[in-house]
């Protein structure tokens, strides 16, 4: 008996350039390398540009995205990492806190594809990270691209508040 089918949305098309930041934790480098390969393929298919930064672990991924959102000009973010269950409750803390932090950043308006794997063992991670198998890195990149497309569809043009440079040049002020 076949398993359930999954519908994959086609990648969005963009009329203006899209810049994506991949934030990856290479704690399990083989897994991270596969995730990045999958993410890059999706980003390139959409015609977007990218940058990649590495952080020590999954808990640092949301912090790096928050810093980038405040200090740079990325349209979207791809969070890539892997947390494998160990012998202590640290697994639960890392999974819950990294996921919750990414969700909070998303609710603030950031376009984030969450590709942090939370698995029982390395074999599960390998299948999920491999671009030829489950390609969760590619899926996270696609999610970020879809959110960028939504934000552009629903985005409002920024309105100036108070004085604008053109009016100041003319010696006039706005009301």
Active-site residue 7, yes or no? no
For 86-133, write each residue's pLDDT tens digit: 999 999 999 999 999 999 999 999 999 999 999 999 999 999 999 999
Q: What does residue 118 show for φ and ψ, rounded to 5 degrees?
A: -125, 105
Interatomic CA distance for residues 120 and 102, integer angstroms: 21
How is residue 137 written in tokens? Answer: 């890195």
What's the rounded mean pLDDT across residues 134-154?
A: 97
In the structure, what pLDDT confidence band is assigned to residue 157 with cuts at 50, 70 and 90?
low
Considering only 3-7, 23-27, 148-152, which range has the smallest mean pLDDT?
A: 3-7
Q: Mind listing the domains of the chain with CATH numbers?
A: 19-169 (3.40.50.960)
pLDDT of residue 5: 82
Considering only 21-35, 93-107, 153-167, which range has the smallest mean pLDDT?
A: 153-167
pTM of the model: 0.87
Exposed e or buried b per residue across 4-13, where buried means at least 16 C-beta atoms within 10 angstroms of its C-beta: eeeeeeebbe
How is residue 95 written in tokens? Answer: 């999974």
Interatomic CA distance for residues 8 and 11, integer angstroms: 9
pLDDT of residue 22: 99
Q: Which of 50, 90, 122, 146 is catalytic?
A: 90
């Amino acid at each position: 008996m076949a398993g359930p089918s999954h519908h994959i949305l086609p990648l969005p098309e963009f009329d203006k350039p899209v810049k994506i930041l991949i934030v990856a934790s290479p704690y399990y480098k083989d897994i991270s390398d596969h995730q990045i390969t999958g993410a890059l393929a999706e980003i390139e298919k959409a015609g977007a540009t990218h940058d990649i930064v590495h952080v020590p672990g999954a808990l640092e991924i949301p912090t790096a995205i928050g810093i980038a959102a405040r200090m740079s000009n990325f349209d979207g973010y791809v969070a890539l990492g892997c947390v494998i269950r160990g012998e202590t409750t640290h697994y639960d803390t890392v999974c819950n806190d990294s996921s919750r932090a990414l969700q909070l950043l998303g609710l603030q308006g950031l376009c984030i594809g969450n590709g942090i794997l939370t698995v029982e063992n390395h074999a599960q991670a390998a299948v999920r990270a491999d671009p030829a198998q489950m390609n969760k890195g590619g899926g996270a990149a696609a999610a970020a691209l879809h959110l960028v497309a939504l934000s552009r569809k629903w985005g409002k043009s920024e309105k100036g508040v108070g004085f604008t440079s053109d009016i100041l040049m003319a010696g006039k002020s706005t009301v």
